[in-house]
Structure 1
C-alpha cells in the first residue's frame, strides 16, 4: 500500500513554518524561570508547630496574614525541617546538607569556613544579601560569622543562647553591638547574665522581634535594582528559657492583644499573642513589597525551624500545635520535624496545596535554579522549582530523607523513604535499641508500628542510618 502524496501549497508551507517556529521557540515555565533572578525572602519562625497556623488547621490562634499568604501560594503538606532543634536545622537550610552531613548535628558551634552557604552562591549571581534575626551558626570572630558566610548585612542574635531573651540590652549589627533601650535594674546572677542568658529585672522597652521587622522594612526601602536575598529569622514563638531566673512564665510578648480576656492560663494567652504578632510581621513585609512595586518580582517563603516546644508554660497539646502529628521539638516523629512551608510568587506559581516530599536542604538547589548558578557537590538537596511551577511530572524526588539527634545519652535517627519511615532510638547501652516503622501514607500520626510485619524494609532503612556516624 502506497502512501498518498502530500501536496504543500505556498499557504500551507507558510502555516507549517510558523507552527514549527512556535514549537521550537516554546519553553516550559521551568526553563523560562531558570536564572530569572527574582528577589528571595525566606521568613523563618522559631518552634512554630505544623498546626499553629489557620491554613494548617489551627482553630484558636488567629493568623489572617499568613493564611492569606498561603491562599496565594503553594502550601506544602509534607515539608521537613533540617533537624528537630534550632542550630542544626538552620545549618541544613543554609548549606543544603542533610543532618548526617552538616557541620552542626546537635549543639551550637560555628559552621566551617569551607561550608558553602546559599548567600555565598547568590552573591555570585549579583544578589545583595541580608540576614536579620536569629543566626545561631557562629559569632563574631568564628568561622561561622554571618558576614564571612556570604551576607553583606547582618542584624540580630548571632549567639543562640542570647536569642532566648526577648528584651536584650543589645543586638548585633554586622560586627558591632547595637544598643537597645532595655535597661538592667539589678542582676541576680551576674555570671549568667554576662553570657547573655538572663534578663532578670529589666526595664522592657524594645521587643527584639519588633526591631527585626523595623530593620527588615528599612532594608526593603533601601533596595535598588539588584536582586536581593533577605533571610528574616524570627525567634517567635520560642520560649524565654530563662523564666526560672525572671520568675515569670517563658512566653514573652509586649501585650496579649485579642487574647487578653480569654479564659486561658497566662502563658497560653502570651504564646497565642506571640504567634499572632508574628502574623502581623508577615503582613507588614507583604505590604511593603506592594508599596515598593516589587511584589511580583519577589518570591517569599515562610516556614519554621522545627516542631512546637513544651517550655515556658506552653503546652503544644492545648492548641494542637503539632496538627495531629506525633511528637514535638526534640522528637524525630513527624511532630518534631514536619513543618509549615509556604511559597508565594504572584503570576508565576498557581495557588494550591502540594504533597511533594521536601526538606530544608532543598532550598539551596531551588535558589540556585532561580539565580542561574551551579549547585555545589556538597549539597544533598533537590530543587522543588518544578513543583512550584505545577510541573509535577518533571519534579525529581529524594531517594530518602535523613535526620539524627542526640540528647541526654539518647541517640535518635530517622529515615523517610517514599511512604515508609523508620525511627531508631538508642538509650545509653547500644544494646538497648528500638526501631519503629510507619507507613505515613496510611498513618501520618505514626500510631501503628509495622516493624515486625516488614523486617526487610526495616533492614533497608537501618542500613541508611548506619551510613552516618554520630558525634
Structure 2
C-alpha cells in the first residue's frame, strides 16, 4: 500500500536510481474506459465543431489525440455496459460472447481473455474501477477479476455499484462498495469521488510497479464509472500539479484527514468547474460538463505520471468508452449533442449507441496527430495486445490486431465486416437531431452488419428473413436514407453474414436462431478429402495463424479416424475442408478431446476447449442448408500425452457418427483456412 507520507520517498527513489531504461522491457499497456461517454463528448471528435457558447472542453484528451491516433470509426460490441465490457475482455463480438443483451453481473467465463492472455505473457494485470462481470451478489463470484487473470483488483464488482459516485461505505441506495482484492472497504469512503479514487489508486499501482518490478510489463485496465447514471460533482478542485509532483494521491484507508484519496474532504457533490460555473446553463448541464472535465484532467495527471516514471515512450495508452450517452437521472444528451453527428444513444444499434470516441497513443509507434477511419471494434484489442506483448494471437477471437493501422503500415485490416446483435424493449428517443424514421422507434430485437461504408441494421425483428435497412455512413451519418431497394446484392450478403457469423445462445434467444446457415457454391477443382497440416505449438492456446511445418491430404479419413491412427504428440494438428451437408436441417456437433481443441464452421466458433488436461465432451447445435460448409479443426495434445480427438455429428434424422471423411473436400489452392467464408 502506498500511503501519502511515503509518496516523496518513492519520488526520490525513482529520480535517483532508475534500474532499467524503458525499452529494456516489453511495453506497458493502459486501457482507460469511460462509462456512457458519447462520441460527441470529446472536443477533438465533435465538441469543438459545435460552435457557440453551449459546449464544454476536454483539453487533456485533445492533447492525447494530438500526440496519438484518433480512431473515428471505433465501435463497441453492444450499446450497454455488460455485453460491451465482456466483448472487450473476451475478444468476441456479440454473436459469440456468452454475455449478451442486458445480462448484468453474469460471470465472465473462465479461459482466454485479455487479462489471462497478458498474464501468461508475463504481465502484471491490474483492474481498477468498474467490473460488473463477477457474478450475482450473494453468489461465490465465479467471475471475480482475481479468478479471471487479473493479479490485482480495486473497484466495484457489481454494475449497480457504479450508479452512484460516492460509495459511502455501502450505505447508498445501490449499496455500493469498493472492493480491494476480495475485501470490501467499509470505512472512509463517505467523501471519495470515484473518478478521483480510481485515478489515485491507478497512479499508486504504476508507482509501486516501477519501484518494485521495473523489469515486468504492466497491463492496467482503468474503468471509470462516470459520466454514467447519477449526475454528481466532486468535492473540490483538482489538486495542483500532475504526476509525481501533485495531482491525485492514493492515501490509503488509515489516513485520518483524507482517507483513500487526497480529495476526500469538504462537501460532496458541490464543486462546479470554473469554466462552467457562471454559464447560463441549467445546473444539470454544469454537472455533466464538470464530470467529463474531471475525467479529462485525471487522464492528464496519468499521462504526466508516465513521463515522470520514464515509461511514457514504452507505454501504449488507449482511451475509449463502453457505449453511447445515457438519458437517465436528469441527464439529457441533447444538451451538448453527446451522440455527435449521429442518431442513437445508449441501447441503440444506431451509430450514436455503438460508435465511441477512441484514442491510441504510443510514442515512436503511433504517429502524432494521426487519424484512422477504418471500421474497428473493441473486440479487436485482445488481438492487438497479444501482438504488442509478443504473444500468439489466438484463433478463438473475432478480433484482429490493429497494429497495422496504429503503426501506419496499412489503412485498414482488409476485414469483410463488423457484426452486432442486441435486444432492448424500449424505444429510440424522439430527438430532433435524429433521422425522422428513428424517432420514437421500437428497438426490440436488433441486428447490424457493417461492410465498408455500408451499414445494414434491422429493428424489432420478429422473423429471420426480415430485411436490413442499408445506409451509406460516409454520406448519411444519421442513417436517414435507406438504400436497401437499390442494393439487393448487398442485402443478400448481409443476410448471409448474419447467419454464418454467430451461434445461438439459449440465454439470449433470437427469432433468427433457427435460420439456416447458407452453403457456399462449389469452388472449381474440388477434390475428395481434407487437408491436414502440422504446426509448431506455443503451449498457450490454439493460434489464429499457425506456423505450419508439414502438409498432407486425407482422401478418405475424417479427423477422428486420423487421430485414432496415431498423430505426432509434439505438433499441433489442423484439418481444413469443405463439409458437404446432405440436407437442410439441425446438426449437433459433439467433441471429445484432450489438450486444446478448436473447431470453426464458416466464421462460427463452433467448439473450443482450452488447455484441457483430461478428455472432456462439448456439443454445439447449428442449422445448416444442404451443400458445402468450410470447417477447420485444430488440436494440440497435452504435454506428454497422447492425442484424444473424437468429433461426431448428429444428423436431422437423429443418426450420430464420427464426422465422415467421405464428406470432406478440398481445393488444390487451399492455403489459409481463415479465408474460408
Q: TM-score, normalised by structure 1?
A: 0.82
Q: Which has the higher helix share?
A: 1
Which protein has greater RCO, CA pairs closer than 8 Å, 6+ apart? 1
SS at match of 1:172: strand
Shift of 1:357: 1.4
Q: Retained in 2: the 8 A contact 1:103–1:111?
A: no
The structure 1 residue matched to 2:194, chosen from 176, 188, 208, is 208
The structure 1 residue matched to 2:120, chosen from 116, 121, 124, is 124
Judging changes above 3 Å, is the alpha-carbon distance between structure 1 residues 253 and 424 closer, same or farther for their aligned structure 2 residues?
A: farther
1:277-426 matches, within 5 Å, as: 277-351=294-368, 352-392=370-410, 395-408=412-425, 410-426=444-460
Judging changes above 3 Å, is the alpha-carbon distance between structure 1 residues 461 and 180 closer, same or farther for their aligned structure 2 residues?
A: farther
In 1, Cα distance between equivalents of 2:205 and 2:74: 29
Farther off after superposition, 140-149 or 348-357: 140-149
Residue of structure 2 equivalent to 1:78: 73
Judging changes above 3 Å, is the alpha-carbon distance between structure 1 residues 253 and 49 closer, same or farther for their aligned structure 2 residues?
A: farther
Shift of 1:434: 6.4
In 2, Cα distance between equivalents of 1:211 and 1:345: 26
1:46 aligns with 2:46: no
Q: Which has the higher strand share?
A: 2
Uncovered stretches (5+) of structure 2, i.e. residues with no partner: 1-23, 49-54, 170-176, 233-267, 426-442, 509-677
Alignment root-mean-square deviation, CA: 2.2
Q: Retained in 2: the 8 A contact 1:36–1:370?
A: no
Residue of structure 2 equivalent to 1:66: 61
Q: Retained in 2: the 8 A contact 1:400–1:417?
A: yes
Residue of structure 1 equivalent to 2:182: 175
Residue of structure 2 equivalent to 1:103: 98
Q: Retained in 2: the 8 A contact 1:330–1:336?
A: yes
Judging changes above 3 Å, is the alpha-carbon distance between structure 1 residues 172 and 385 closer, same or farther for their aligned structure 2 residues?
A: same
Post-superposition Cα deviations, 1:321-341, rounded to whole Å, max 9, x if no partner, equal 111111111110111101111
SS at match of 2:31: strand
Q: Retained in 2: the 8 A contact 1:130–1:231?
A: yes
The structure 2 residue matched to 1:446, chosen from 472, 479, 484, is 479
Shift of 1:262: 1.6
Judging changes above 3 Å, is the alpha-carbon distance between structure 1 residues 331 and 298 closer, same or farther for their aligned structure 2 residues?
A: same
1:224-263 matches, within 5 Å, as: 224-225=213-214, 226-240=216-230, 253-258=269-274, 259-263=276-280
Of the two, which has the highest radius of gyration?
A: 2
Q: Retained in 1: the 8 A contact 2:323–2:356?
A: yes
In 2, Cα distance between equivalents of 1:379 and 1:142: 25
Judging changes above 3 Å, is the alpha-carbon distance between structure 1 residues 270 and 100 closer, same or farther for their aligned structure 2 residues?
A: same
In 2, Cα distance between equivalents of 1:355 and 1:113: 32
Shift of 1:121: 0.8
Q: Retained in 2: the 8 A contact 1:322–1:328?
A: yes
Q: Retained in 2: the 8 A contact 1:426–1:434?
A: no
Uncovered stretches (5+) of structure 1, i.e. residues with no partner: 1-34, 183-203, 243-251
1:129-148 matches, within 5 Å, as: 129-139=125-135, 141-148=140-147
Q: Retained in 2: the 8 A contact 1:164–1:241?
A: no
Residue of structure 1 equivalent to 2:163: 164
In 1, Cα distance between equivalents of 2:150 and 2:118: 10
Shift of 1:108: 1.4
Post-superposition Cα deviations, 1:420-457, rounded to whole Å, max 9, x if no partner, equal 11111126x54995631101122222121111221221
SS at match of 1:452: helix
Q: TM-score, normalised by structure 2?
A: 0.58
The structure 2 residue matched to 1:461, chosen from 467, 472, 494, is 494
SS at match of 1:119: helix
Judging changes above 3 Å, is the alpha-carbon distance between structure 1 residues 253 and 277 closer, same or farther for their aligned structure 2 residues?
A: farther
Judging changes above 3 Å, is the alpha-carbon distance between structure 1 residues 255 and 397 closer, same or farther for their aligned structure 2 residues?
A: farther
Post-superposition Cα deviations, 1:21-49, rounded to whole Å, max 9, x if no partner, equal xxxxxxxxxxxxxx972000000011101
In 1, Cα distance between equivalents of 2:80 and 2:109: 22
In 2, Cα distance between equivalents of 1:327 and 1:113: 30
In 1, Cα distance between equivalents of 2:147 and 2:121: 17
Judging changes above 3 Å, is the alpha-carbon distance between structure 1 residues 439 and 216 closer, same or farther for their aligned structure 2 residues?
A: same
Q: Retained in 1: the 8 A contact 2:105–2:158?
A: no
SS at match of 1:426: coil
Judging changes above 3 Å, is the alpha-carbon distance between structure 1 residues 375 and 36 closer, same or farther for their aligned structure 2 residues?
A: farther
In 1, Cα distance between equivalents of 2:445 and 2:479: 19
SS at match of 1:303: strand
In 1, Cα distance between equivalents of 2:56 and 2:75: 22
Shift of 1:254: 4.6
